[in-house]
Structure formats: structure tokens, C-alpha cells
Amino acid sequence: MIGAAVTRREDARVLLGQTRYLDDLELAGLAHVAFVRSPHARASITAIEAPAAADGLLAVVTAADLDGLVRPFPVPPLDGAELADEPHPVLARDEVRYAGQPVAAVIARTRALAEDAAELVRVDYEPRDAVVNARDSDLALMRWSRRGGDIDGAFAAARHVICGSYSLPRLVAAPIETRGAIAEHDPGRDLLTVWCSAQDPHRPRAQLAHILSRPDDGVRVIVPDVGGAFGSKGVIAPEVAAVAAAAIKLGMPLKWAEDRLENFLAAYQGRGIEGDIELALDAGGRMLGVRAWLWADLGAYLLTTTAIPPHTAAMLMTGCYEIPAAQVELVGARTHKVPTGPYRGAGRPDAAYMLERLVDQAARELGIDRIELRRQNLVRQFPHRTPLGYVYDSGDYERCLDLAVELGGLQAIHDAGNADPGTRIDAATVTGIGVALYVERAGGQWESAEIELDPSGRFVISSSACPHGQGHETTFAQIAADRLGCGLDQVVMRFGDSATVPRGVGTFGSRSVAMAGSAVVIAIEKLVELARPLAAHLLACEPGPVQLTAGAFTSSASADAVSWAELAGAAYQPERLPPGMEVGLRAGASFHSPLVFSSGAHTAVVQIERATGRLRVLRIAAVDDAGTVINPLLAHGQVIGGVVQALGECLVEEAIHDESGQNRSGSFMDYSLLTAAEIPPILTAEVSSPSPLNPLGAKGAGEGGTVGTLPAVANAVADALDGLHLDPPYGEEKLWRALREAGL
Ligand code: MCN
């Protein structure tokens, strides 16, 4: 089953409309919450006055009402980073720091009445000037720096030093299902239950336990079906914490289901980073060292994971190259905008974009072919410790590069004598080709799984990972069926309820298959060990030579075989058990490992219309290495989804705040996503360098598409513009002006 292109078991439910998302859930006596939000990016609050009464109004809850009940968001330490004591508050109290920040929760019998009543809440603000650009901010929420190898020596010895400045705008994750939660407090058991549209139950539970100063088992989080997250539901919304606290305080179950405008305004955003970066090379083009100064626009406060993407970007600054020395200085600036956090790729595209643009510039300035310059400097020996301290477990970067060049038809363009962009101009268009490689940090930390053979002979597996579109219900069942030798339909997967699934970390960072999938493997190994004595007993032989082969237990000492179904029949009948064996067959395991590193090479061919500046991506070739792939069909879907998100980032996506901190891209009228009609042919191929760090050999596939395509397209655009650098998104006006600047 491992490596089989099985179609998703969950799709029938999705297609028949049988899924149940947060807003589909109802509870008896449920009241509804709407939020009063700050209209200003920066202001002092001098007074908040609730209406005396309004139709259906039940309560107005402000920060003062939650005194003693809530603390700000937890912000864990991060790898030597200096983090300011500026955690996101649940509700704003004396000041607001971004437009859209929740100030008061208004509770009414229906959502519509709550929204009407919210308009009657009077908040007096004293507005102040907002800081919107990271480099203008003199307030840091985060500082981190590291140097490794002889960086001064590298730059002193360099024959060439190539410099570049790059910038990526903020993006919105835009999942189809927006955020939301239902909270109910049972005072008898002092149990808070929160149904939450989240990536997993564990992190929301830990965040709520911290914010509400409750023990872990005083909070139960249930994740229903989730309509996408793309990183944006790893940290609970401050609104969810407010809903939970208000449900406890008021003693009534509450629901908040966010609308699209709120999601644009107040859901944490992704990217938003700029950098100056320098590459030192010797006369022959060998890379000696890299130095980077990064400014991340972290927004107004630290959420639990705000500091992680820029840290990941900083750590990946040597990419897939054998660069002996590196130095990175990172400032996470405070601006008066909604905070940032992980968005698909979460720092990896940022690093790949800056480094791969710079490598292209180096190739140009040194007069070396850009594919050759890359090939010459690739990491070839694994494990490889980067000067910044990551240890790459496995990979075949050269194979990825060769395949991507071949798949993208770049060789043919070269062979046709069209390598020089000058020869690719015709009356109507200019054409560019781009190549980029990437390394993707994946896996790490730990996950767990529990498996039970139930009396009917089905395997019920509870996993600490939690799907929100990836297809774990199929993938994890494949892993189990493979190891158990059973059919897929004999495996039942359970996810997403902190009261019934084992503890774990969560679904993010392309880590579920490598970590939680490996936990399933180990739990199965334990189950098989527990089953062997029972099988031996039923075979009337010694357990020693009993083995599981093709779904049945056999022994050299017996001609018979015992199936899992027979074991299930016996395991719950004490009189059929060998002496000392417990009733039932169940096992649990956790798995931990260091990070694993996926990788890949993408190429892009683009054409810019000279009269209009319109960019057409003609094709993308994506070659990705996720180690052992469990389900090539689903992994391919992940790559395609990621590539399309990256194309959106290249072509149209940009979250814009004006100079007063107002969100100017607050709806789908102003923030565009690509539609299927705008997607070029995406050619994919796979390289497989199994990871030595887990029993599956698996690495991550969930983000690679977003990481490789951005720099490939950016390099292709620069190639078309005869080397002129532009940051995305590549809108028509920007390209039209650039064509004129480049004399094209
Ligand atoms: N897979 C595989 N073999 C591997 C690795 C992955 O077959 N060696 C396939 C499996 O089908 C698996 C899927 O790819 O279910 C993703 O696995 P993995 O790379 O382990 O990533 P996670 O399951 O941890 O998912 C997280 C990742 C991230 S970080 C974002 S962001 C993202 C993504 O998944 N958000 C998504 N893909 C998404 N897809 C959907 N539909 N919706 C989102 O919100």
C-alpha cells in the first residue's frame, strides 16, 4: 500500500455534503458573538460604553470584564531569539495597535442581533500615527543573529561579492472556511469544551489552557471538518480565547463564526519580509559565504508562532548549497498591522526567494551559466551540517536540478540557441526562463498514535495529527494496511478530539507523515508483538517462530495460519487467552526525531506582453523530493496546490496597508486569488531520497510547491527583463514600466 496512488477515502463525504464544519454545529441554548473592532491602526482607548439594552442583546464583554480570567497569548522561547514581552492580548484594553483588533465581544441571541448591537457600543479613541514599514520601526518584537564558519575570512578571500535587496509582501491565507469556535463550560466538571476550526486540537488546547490558567485536562478541543487552513489556524484567534472566557464567565455556550471581511482584517497574515543579502564567491564561482540582514514585519504583537517563519527563513539562508560560512541578523519589527504568522511555506519561500535571486545575479555578473553555477555548489554529502546549524538528513539536489531542467524543456531552449534573453524577444513578447532550488525544513519534534483491534476485526487508529485537507484518513490508513497486511476498509482513522486522540504537537510544517505516520508504524509493531503470543496460543505452538506475513500469523511449527479476524475473536474472550494475557489488543507509541529536509528544483518559462506588461507563465516544472512517498496521487495534489499558491503570490496576491495602517486589500474585490482558468501547465516529477531518521523514510510534501515556484518565476521574470530585478507580485503596470526601464 505504501506508494499506491489510492483515491481519497474522505472525498465521498466531502462531495456528498456530509462534512460538518464549525458553523454547521448547533448546541442547545447557543448564543452568538460579534466583535467590536478597532477602526484605527493605533490609538488610545479612553472609554468604552455598552448600550443599556438592544434587541436580543445578552451581554457586552470587554477586557475589564475578563480581569483575572485571561492572560495574553503564550510566546515560547525560540532558539536564542530575543523576544519582546509583547504578547497579543485577548481583548484590547487601554490601546489598540492594529485596525481590526478586537475590543469587545457582543453576545446576543443571533449573530445578526449581535452585529446590530455591536454597532451601538461606543468606544472613544485617541488616534496616533501608525508605523507601517518594518524598516521604519524602531521597536523590535524579535532579534536573532547567528554566524557560523569563518565569515570574515570568506568575505576577505572573495573575488566577487554579489549584493541584492529583496522584499516579499504580506499575504493572506484565505482558506475557504474562515475561523470560528463554539465554547461551552460545564461547571459541574469544570470542563471547557471548545469546537474550533483549527489545524489540530493540541496547540489550541495548550494555548487556551495558558490563556485561561486552566489545567490541560480542564480544556477539551474538538476539531470538526475543516475547510483549509494553510498555516493560518495553528494559533487560535484572540477572538476564540475571548469566546471561551466569556462562555465560562456568562455560563452559556457561545458561537463565533467569522465572516470573510473579519478574516481579511484580523486573521494573521503571512510573509512580509525584506532583506539585504551578500554572497561571496571565489574566481571560479565557488560560494564562500553568505551574509543577510532581514527585517520581518511582525505586526502589532507576538502571537504564539509569530517569530517562527522569519527564524526559519534565517536558518535556511544557505539553501541547498555547500557554503562554509554564513551570518544572519534578523529584526522582527513591530508595526501597527495585524500580526504575521505561518502561511504555507512559513519562511522557506522567503529564504529560497532571496538566495535564488542572488545566485542568478551572481551567475550574470560572473558570466557563468546559472545552472552550472548552481550545480557546482550543490550539497552532495549527507548528513550535511549547514554553518547556521541545520543538519540536512538526505537528498539528491543534482538529480532534482537535472530533472527539472529536462522536464521544463530548458535544454531545448538552450540548444535552439535561445539561452540569451536577447534572442527571445519578438514584436509582441519577451520570454524568460527561471531555475530555482530549495530545501524545506520538515518533521521534527514528536507525535503519537494508538491502535486497537476491535472485536469486529477492524483496526481503530487514533492519531495525534489532524487533517484539514491533506488526506490523512487515506494516507495513514495506507501506512497501517501496509504494515498490518489488511485491507484499507479494515482501518478506521480517528483524529481531532483532544479527549480521545493521544497527545502530540500538530499538523503544520509538512510534518504529519514523517512524524505521526511513523508513530503509527511503531504502534503497529507493538501491536504485532502483543498479538504474537495469542497467535501462538491459537496455533498451539511456541511464540518464538510466529510471524506476521501477508495479514496472517504463521509459524514454522504449524501448518495453520491465524488471521487478524480470528485474533479479534479470541482477544476479547478471557477463556481463549494464554495465561497472563490481558483482554483486548491495543498499543500506543510516540515517535520523535530531529528535523528532516525535503528539497526540490522548479523551473518556469514566462512571457511578458510588451504592449501591456501582462505576465503569462507558460509552464512550471516542479521536481520535489519528499523521501518515501506514501501516496503519489495525494503528494502530487499537494505539489499542485502549493505551486498554485506560489503562482498567486507571483501574479496577483499582495496584502496592502496604507500609510495610516488601514487594510486596503480587505476583500476578494481587492485581494485576488487565481482561478483554475489562470493556471498554466504544471509538470511534476519525483525524486526520492528516503530519510534515515524515521521508519518510513518519509519527508514532507505539504509545502514544497509554494517554496520552489516563487523563486523560479521571479528568476524567469528577471531573465525576461534582461536581469532587472523586481519583487512580486508581477502586476501589469509594474512590468510595463520595467520593460521601458530595461529598454525592451
Ligand atoms: N505525502 C505523502 N508522502 C510523503 C509526504 C506527504 O504521500 N512522504 C502526502 C500525504 O497524502 C499527506 C500529504 O502529502 O497527507 C501532506 O503530508 P505532509 O507533507 O506530512 O504535511 P502535513 O500533513 O503535515 O500537512 C501540512 C501542510 C502544510 S504545513 C500546509 S500550510 C498545508 C498543506 O499541508 N495546508 C493545507 N497542505 C494543505 N492542503 C489542504 N488541502 N489544505 C491546507 O490547509
pLDDT in tens, 451-507: 999 999 999 999 999 999 999 999 999 999 999 999 999 999 999 999 999 999 999
Q: In this predicted structure, what is the pLDDT of residue 424?
A: 73
> Which of ligand 1's atoms lies nearest the C-alpha of 471?
15
- DSSP designation for 284: T
156 class by beta-carbon count within 10 Å (0-12 exposed, 13-18 middle, 19+ buried)? exposed
Q: In this predicted structure, what is the pLDDT of residue 182?
A: 98
User: How far apart, in whole angstroms, are the C-alpha atoms of residue 199 and residue 207?
Assistant: 13
Q: Span 353-360, mean pLDDT?
A: 98
Rg (CA), the chain: 27
Instruction: Please say whether the beta carbons of 701 and 141 come within 8 A.
Output: no
Q: In this predicted structure, what is the pLDDT of residue 414?
A: 65
Does pLDDT of 270 surpass 80? yes
Least confident among 170-179, 295-304, 411-420: 411-420
Q: How far is the CA of 426 from the centre of ligand 1 (A)?
A: 42
Q: In this predicted structure, what is the pLDDT of residue 738?
A: 97
Q: In this predicted structure, what is the pLDDT of residue 425?
A: 77
- pLDDT cut 90: percent of the chain above it: 96
For atom 25 of ligand 1, which residue has the closest CA? 510
Does pLDDT of 586 surpass 80? yes
Q: Is 570 helix (H, G, I), strand (E, B) or coil?
A: helix
Say what angle helices 348-366 and 704-720 make with each other, to 10 degrees: 30
Q: Is 245 helix (H, G, I), strand (E, B) or coil?
A: helix
Q: In this predicted structure, what is the pLDDT of residue 589?
A: 98
Pocket test for ligand 1, best of 6, 176, 464, 470 (most atoms within 8 A of CB): 470
Q: How far is the CA of 83 from the centre of ligand 1 (A)?
A: 30
317 class by beta-carbon count within 10 Å (0-12 exposed, 13-18 middle, 19+ buried)? buried
**Residue-averaged pLDDT of the chain:** 96
Q: How many DSSP H helices and E strands does the chain contain?
A: 17, 29
User: How far apart, in whole angstroms, are the C-alpha atoms of residue 729 and residue 744?
Assistant: 20
The one-letter code for the residue type at 558 is S
Q: Residue-wise over 656-673: b if at least 16 C-beta within 10 A, else e?
A: ebeeebbbebbeeeebbe
Does pLDDT of 657 surpass 60? yes
Q: Span 222-248, mean pLDDT?
A: 98
Question: What contacts 493, CB < 8 A, 6 or more positions away?
Answer: 461, 463, 472, 473, 476, 477
Count of alpha carbons within 13 angstroms of residue 83, beta-carbon side: 23
Instruction: Please say whether the beta carbons of 376 and 286 come within 8 A.
Output: yes
Say what angle helices 238-250 and 202-211 make with each other, to 10 degrees: 60
Q: Say if ligand 1 is within 6 A of residue 700 CB.
A: yes
674 class by beta-carbon count within 10 Å (0-12 exposed, 13-18 middle, 19+ buried)? middle
Say what angle helices 472-484 and 518-539 make with each other, to 10 degrees: 30
End-to-end CA distance of the chain: 54
Q: In this predicted structure, what is the pLDDT of residue 421?
A: 52
Q: Say if ligand 1 is within 6 A of residue 701 CB.
A: yes
Q: Span 147-174, mean pLDDT?
A: 98
Q: Span 157-182, mean pLDDT?
A: 98
Displacement of CA 632 from its chain's centroid (Å): 20
Q: What is the pLDDT of residues 378-418, one digit of tens each?
A: 999 999 999 999 999 999 999 999 999 999 998 777 666 55
Q: In this predicted structure, what is the pLDDT of residue 328?
A: 98
Instruction: Please say whether the beta carbons of 500 and 193 come within 8 A.
Output: no
Q: Say if ligand 1 is within 6 A of residue 400 CB.
A: no
Count of alpha carbons within 13 angstroms of residue 63, beta-carbon side: 20
The DSSP-derived string for 434-499 is EEEEEEEEEE-SEEEEEEEE-TTS-EEEEES---SSS-HHHHHHHHHHHHHT--GGGEEEE-SBTT
Give the 3-state DSSP-derived string for 172-235, with helices as H, strands as E and coil as C: CCCCCCCCEEEEEEECCCCEEEEEECCCCCHHHHHHHHHHCCCCHHHEEEECCCCCCCCCCCCC
Q: Span 7-30, mean pLDDT?
A: 96
User: How far apart, in whole angstroms, are the C-alpha atoms of residue 225 and residue 68?
Assistant: 33
CA dihedral (627, 632, 636, 639) in degrees, to 10, reads -20
Q: In this predicted structure, what is the pLDDT of residue 420?
A: 56
Q: What is the pLDDT of residues 45-71, one digit of tens each?
A: 999 999 999 999 999 999 999 999 999
Q: How far is the CA of 82 from the centre of ligand 1 (A)?
A: 31
Q: In this predicted structure, what is the pLDDT of residue 411?
A: 78
Q: What is the pLDDT of residues 664-684, one digit of tens each?
A: 999 999 999 999 999 999 999
Does pLDDT of 427 surpass 90? no
Pocket test for ligand 1, best of 197, 507, 508, 638 (most atoms within 8 A of CB): 638
Task: Using pLDDT thresholds of 50, 70 and 90, give the confidence band for residue 79.
Answer: very high
Dihedral sign of CA atoms 202, 208, 213, 215 in order: negative
Q: In this predicted structure, what is the pLDDT of residue 412?
A: 76
Does pLDDT of 233 surpass 90? yes
Q: In this predicted structure, what is the pLDDT of residue 419?
A: 55
Task: Using pLDDT thresholds of 50, 70 and 90, give the confidence band for residue 91.
Answer: very high
Q: How far is the CA of 412 from the centre of ligand 1 (A)?
A: 34
Q: Which residue, among 488, 735, 461, has the nearest Cα to 607 in the 3D structure?
A: 735
